[in-house]
A = this chain, B = another copy of it.
Amino acid sequence: MFQASYFLLSVGVLLQVLIVVNAELITPSIWPQPVEFQTSTGLTNVGLFEYTSKNGAVNTLEQAYKRYNAMIFQHNTESSDTTPVEVIVDDNSEAYPQLDTDESYSLTIPSPENSGEPIKIEAKTVYGALYGLESLSQLVMYDYDKQRYIISATPIRISDSPRYKHRGMLLDTARHFQPIPFIQRVVDSLSYSKYNVLHWHVVDTQSFPFESKTYPKLWKGAYTKPERYSQADIKDLVEYGRLRGVKVMIEFDMPGHASSWCKGYPEVCPSETCTEPLDPSSNATFPLIRSLLGECNGANDGNTEALFPYQFIHLGGDEVDYKCWENDAEIQQWEKEQGFSGSEDTYKYFVEQTASIAREQNRLPVQWVEVFEHFGSTLSKDIVIHVWKEKTTLDEVLSAGYKALLSNQDDWYLDHETTSWQTMYKNEPTAGLSKSSDPSLILGGESCMWAENIDPSDLFNTVWPRAAAVGEVLWSPKIDDSVDMDKVENRLQTFRCLLTQRGISAAPVNNHRTRMAPPNPGSCYYQR
């Protein structure tokens, strides 16, 4: 035992020597890797960032500067040294970001000789400028010996833009409720690795914590009264996300995964004992869905503002088990009246109805891959297919000409506890596509945090640092097969330590099961 410990200690000391160099940031490190990143050998002192702009201050950026200053300049809080950061944004609009919002930026940090010059962030949009600020924040180090802040390897010039437009993480708040402060921290942490979508899987079989104003009994399906999200909470959260460049895509998973809807409105379910999929034959079902989605998307009544301004709405559609339909005489009778040959037709009817409601509310429908597996090319071409099964299904979806989001469970499900960050990192979206598949139909992808075994106690150490691997795949240029995984790991270790410095409970990088406790004393930078 002692021998083994000593051996580990020796390895530790060796690694420490290597990493201390890194920790001093002789080589500065940014996660996700920027497209172009030119460094030199200077060392530039910096102080609190002072936001300057020649064409007017933008509230979103003013708030961002306050947040970043508080986060970066944690030490030596009595110092009032400042460094001007000039932001040049083509368009000052703070309108809600969308899929096509330009997120590119460039960042210039002067050499020590020109330290009187401002740091410059240039971007097309306010949201691009936020990414410039995030990259800048990762370059600032505190020099404990001289008790001042520095950026090493200056002058630095970064030119950067994302590979994919939709970079999301799914968060399931139905299997366990996540209080708003936790969702806010998720949004914070997503922005650190340049994710831009929180896919909010808000309701499921087990609970319905979401407030509908038009169907106010729906949230009777919540576990308890305090475990609910009011529309005021939701509005605050959506704005919280916008300020950080993180859009919220809401999901109502239909017609399966919907038992909790029956607590308040039993009339939309087949029966008391067989509660899902939702009952397509009930006169109550589609009016409720239309109204609920109208609250999310903005109804065409001219009065209802959209809770979720993102152009996509996720309608679920996965894992539909026909049993409750097949065992229900009324539903069977209704199928006959519709001229349906069976439940497969009913499923398709449901999928098309919900997609059509989304469309009439000016939203693009996203549905899980089962709808493609069942109905293939007969589906409307505007439906975005969210692939969670084998990677090979992505090829079929693209070949058929559909747009897609990638979340193949083997590689990108965060609740798969033994999936390593390396596996997540090597999940190249375009790998293995056939010639008939147009890779530009891949809008992006998502890591997925299903919450059967996740609650506020273990959310962050399950998500991080692995979700960062997905973040880099979605943001950075395509990874070459010859990528040096040791270097990637070194950057990820540094990023994990950065997360902890920002108060995020990211797990040790090389856990063979996620969220394991560190097995031995040691440094964050070489924790095994």
Measuring CB to CB, which residues of chain A are less than 8 angstroms from any residue of chain B? 16, 19-20, 23-24, 74-78, 141-142, 144-145, 147, 174-177, 179-182, 185, 206-207, 211, 219, 223-228, 230, 232-233, 236, 451-462, 497, 500-508, 515, 517-525, 527
Contacts and interface: CB of A to CB of B under 8 A. Distances in A.
Contact of A460 (B226, B236, B455, B505): B505
Contact of A185 (B503, B521, B523): B503
A182 B453 contact: no
Nearest to A507: B457
A317 B524 CA distance: 28
Nearest to A25: B226
A521 B230 contact: no
B501 A23 contact: no
A413 to B, nearest CB: 15
Contacts of A174: 521
Contacts of A211: 144
Contacts of A141: 226
25 contacts: A16-B224, A23-B225, A74-B180, A77-B236, A141-B226, A144-B225, A144-B230, A145-B225, A147-B230, A175-B521, A177-B523, A177-B524, A181-B501, A182-B500, A224-B525, A227-B524, A453-B519, A455-B500, A455-B508, A456-B505, A456-B506, A457-B500, A457-B508, A457-B517, A458-B515
A414 to B, nearest CB: 12
A313 to B, nearest CB: 24
B457 A224 contact: no
Contacts of A224: 16, 19-20, 23, 523-525
Contacts of A19: 224
How many chain copies? Answer: 2
Given A74-B181, A458-B505, A503-B182, A176 B226 contact: no
B225 A457 contact: no
Nearest to A496: B457
Central interface residue in A226, A227, A451, A497, by most chain B CB within 10 Å: A226
Contacts of A23: 224-227
A198 B437 CA distance: 60
Contacts of A225: 20, 23-24, 144-145
A462 B462 CA distance: 15
B458 A176 contact: no
Contact of A457 (B77, B223, B451, B505): B505
A184 to B, nearest CB: 8
Max chain B CB contacts within 10 Å: which of A76, A141, A236, A523? A523
A462 B516 CA distance: 12
A147 B453 CA distance: 31
A226 B517 contact: no
A501 to B, nearest CB: 5
